[in-house]
Amino acid sequence: MSILLNNQFDQNSGWQAALSKELPELNIACYPDVSDAAAIHYGVVWGHPFGDLKRYPNLRAIFSLGAGMEHLLNDPELPEVPLISLGDPAMSQDMANYALYWVIDFHRHMQHYRAEQMRQQWNRLETPPTNDFNVLVLGLGRIGQHVAELIQQAGFNVTGWDFKSKTAAALSTVSGNDALSELLPSTNVVISCLALNERSHQLINADFLAQLPMGSHVVNISRGGVIDEDALLDALDSDRLNGAALDVFSIEPLPSEHRLWTHSKVNVTPHMAGPTHISSAASVIAENIRRMERSEQPEPIFDRSRGVQAAAMQDKNT
């Protein structure tokens, strides 16, 4: 029994060493050096070539080496086996910390003070009480819930939203587009933790942004396609938005000529909000493989119906 390993955008050697340490009884076959396709029971991949995974007749499951699943879902010949996304608590914590950082930055007007420092000016702005600063988290999957809970623990007024009704302990949650229309006019910061699919594609568009109060903010740690970037720039130019923190973009890397790079209200980071840590991720993947070998369910199994339905929605080069 073997594991197929392939990370298109990273060296396989680190992953191979970590997985071998966790599962010394299993052979790790690094793509494309696979001597026995029938021996492959588990695929552990990111950016794997379309059509290759169907070559392994005894494949039992495919593990993603990241939180995103588009790199698998757009393979037209993807085998009908469970898809397991990377439910690494370390990644969730990093993403929640990133989101909290920007909520605090926006709440305390830090961008204003950075500019004032350059001009050697001493001007304080009024800061609302923490519990009067309203944060709306879009998407209540594993990561979205962690993000919302951490920000709420910091004292902010947090509401979690999703397309369908979901519950989370000690967190106020709502669902559906009608609820969005009620929430947006009083929202100070919107944070996207949504998977990219037909429903979420450019959900944050001109109409969505027009419902926010003047001086509000947007944080995106999910997928670039969730935001209409032209509408976002218009909202920034009109002062509807006072700032945006963007870790993901419709095209990645962000083209050098894109205006988001140079806009004074935009903070750009290179898709680093939730980095994959090999040691912790390998431990999570190994435990799921051990669970399957005991005839137990791995987790989290990805719901294919949530996947991207059109290639045009896929974030490029992510």
Tens of pLDDT, residue by residue over 79-92, are: 999 999 999 999 99
Phi/psi of residue 244, each to 5°? Answer: -145, 140
SS3 content of the chain, % helix, strand, coil (to 5): 35, 20, 45
Q: Which helix (H) or strand (E) holds 153?
A: helix 142-153
Q: Which helix (H) or strand (E) holds 207?
A: helix 206-210
Determine the average pLDDT of the residues in 262-268. 98
* Site of tokens 């209540």: 140
Give the per-residue pLDDT at 211: 98
Using CA atoms, how far apart are residues 66 and 87, in angstroms rounded to an integer? 9
Residues with a catalytic annotation lie at 223, 271
Using CA atoms, how far apart are residues 235 and 239, in angstroms rounded to an integer? 6
Whether the pLDDT of residue 22 is over 60: the answer is yes
Kindly indicate the confidence band of residue 8, based on its pLDDT and cuts at 50, 70 and 90.
confident
Evaluate whether the domain defined by 2-88+276-313 bears CATH number 3.40.50.720. yes
First CA to last CA distance, the chain? 30
Evaluate whether the domain defined by 91-268 bears CATH number 3.40.50.720. yes
2-88+276-313 and 91-268 share one fold: yes
The residue ranges of every structural domain in the chain are: 2-88+276-313, 91-268
